[in-house]
Amino acid sequence: MNLEIPSKYKGTLKAAYGAAEKILRPISRKYDLAEHTYPKELDMLAAALEAMNTPAAATEQVAQSNESNTKNGNNMQSVLYIQALNYGDVGMSLTIPGRGLGNAAISAVANPEQLAKFGKTWASMAITEPGAGSDSAAITTTAKKDGDFYILNGEKIFITAGERSNAVVVWATLDKSLGRAAIKSFVVEKGTPGMELIRVEKKLGIRASDTAAIMFTNCRVPASNLLGNAEIDVKKGFGGVMETFDATRPFVAAMSLGAAQAAIERTRELIGAKLKLTDFTNPINNIDAVEAEFFRMEADYEASRLLVLRAAWMADNRMPNSMEASICKAKAGRVCTLITLKCIELLSSIGYSQQELLEKWGRDSKILDIFEGTQQIQQLIIARRLLGKTSQELK
């Protein structure tokens, strides 16, 4: 694995970091304070990103790199690009038109016809329910076959961009008695009868992004909108749907990298004049306490970054990456929260006030350790893979 950023992505990354600093950062505080107000500036940004051919979650491009046995494709480009945008603002990165979490789900399990139909549709993802959070297998939203349609009934909560997106990828069970294997995902387009937005949440962080609750009452969805295979394979179990998480967890981990990178760099700027930071010529027993904290933060950040690149590289090379996706999500999510809070602490009153964006980054970072599977769920998945246990054997 080559640890250098592929040269073919450097132009895109430069543009993404430029957008993060020049477009997202200047309006970050404005939309944090004006929760539920859509950032109109994102329309222009989305058009610019489209023109630059930045990675979209619903494409399946894999490009051959200079290394004969290494393929860097959409997954690698996406994590690099996502980190760059989240260096600007986490909340707004989640509500850029055309780049929803549901698009990654479509990419992971859709057939070619569905990719052609929904590939450019801005899609959010509806998994969580009032009684089913990290345990996705506890989903109670039902999908009953009725001729050429499925009828969906249930409530979904905490849907990122659920109000603004053009479609929602809904997880529902075809037969609760068959357990995990019967859970499938459906694309439900906005305006479908029986689909009702019931509220938009007020939140601690990512306030520029809308987080919605949606009720489905006898909602008729074309059978062709069921993503992937409609057959229930009890032997395969939850595997088909879990492919979505294998794709999206490195993306969320990359979001954590962007926020952590922003916090470290801004903190170094604010206190760097007083300290000669990252000077490795000093003996370890003769460094400033603040300097030592930077060493720890940068080591954790770099470890997280390499884990994310590994999971993305495996996905591009069609290698099973379920464990690696959970490892990078667990590590990056935890590290991001620790780093942003430590930076607030090091900057004292400046970090805690709204004079700087540090306190906002601290609030934004916590969700990155929660959604797409909590720390505890990631550790459980990793343990199952390492020990060769099923979900029934290790709960």
pLDDT one-digit tens code per residue, 203-228 = 999 999 999 999 999 999 999 999 98
Asked whether residue 378 falls in the same domain as residue 300, the answer is yes
Looking at the fold, whether 79 and 153 belong to one and the same domain comes out as: no
* Statement to judge: residues 124 and 258 lie in one domain: no
Task: List the CATH number of the domain containing 207.
Answer: 2.40.110.10
252 and 366 part of one domain: yes
- For residue 290, the surrounding DSSP H or E stretch is helix 289-316
Residue 217 half-sphere exposure toward CB, CA atoms < 13 A: 6
Mean predicted confidence (pLDDT) in 190-205: 97
The terminus-to-terminus CA distance of the chain in angstroms comes to 34
Structure tokens at 83: 């980190």
Residue 273 pLDDT grade (very low, low, confident, very high; cuts 50, 70, 90): low
Going by the DSSP 8-state scheme, the letter that residue 21 receives in this structure is I
- Note the pLDDT tens digit of each residue in 338-385: 999 999 999 999 999 999 999 999 999 999 999 988 999 999 999 999
Q: Is residue 230 part of a domain?
A: no
Torsion angle, CA of 84/16/371/184, rounded to 10 degrees? -130
- CATH number of domain containing 376: 1.20.140.10
Q: What is the mean pLDDT of the chain?
A: 89
Q: What is the pLDDT of residue 178?
A: 87
- For residue 232, being part of any structural domain is answered with no
Active site residue 41: no
Provide the domain count of the chain. 3
pLDDT over 70 (residue 240): no
Tell me which residue range forms the domain holding 92: 7-100
Task: Band the pLDDT of 59: cuts 50, 70, 90.
Answer: very low
Same domain for 259 and 178: no
Domain boundary among 225, 257, 280: 225
- Given 79, 100, 121, the domain boundary residue is 100
- Tens of pLDDT along 138-184? 899 999 999 999 999 999 999 999 999 999 999 999 998 888 889 99
Name the pTM for this structure: 0.91
Check whether residue 220 and residue 254 sit in a common domain.
no
Q: Are residues 161 and 262 in the same domain?
A: no
190 and 315 together in one domain: no
Q: Residues 246, 149: one domain?
A: no
65 C-beta neighbours (distance < 10 Å), count: 16
Q: Report if residue 1 sits inside a domain.
A: no
pLDDT of residue 65: 41
Choosing from 56, 81, 100, the residue where a domain stops is 100
Choosing from 163, 243, 356, 372, which is the catalytic residue? Answer: 372
Evaluate if residue 23 carries a pLDDT over 90. Answer: yes
Kindly state whether residues 376 and 248 are assigned to the same domain. Answer: yes
Nearest to 258 by CA among 16, 65, 70, 9: 16
Residue 212, token pair as written in the block: 């919605």
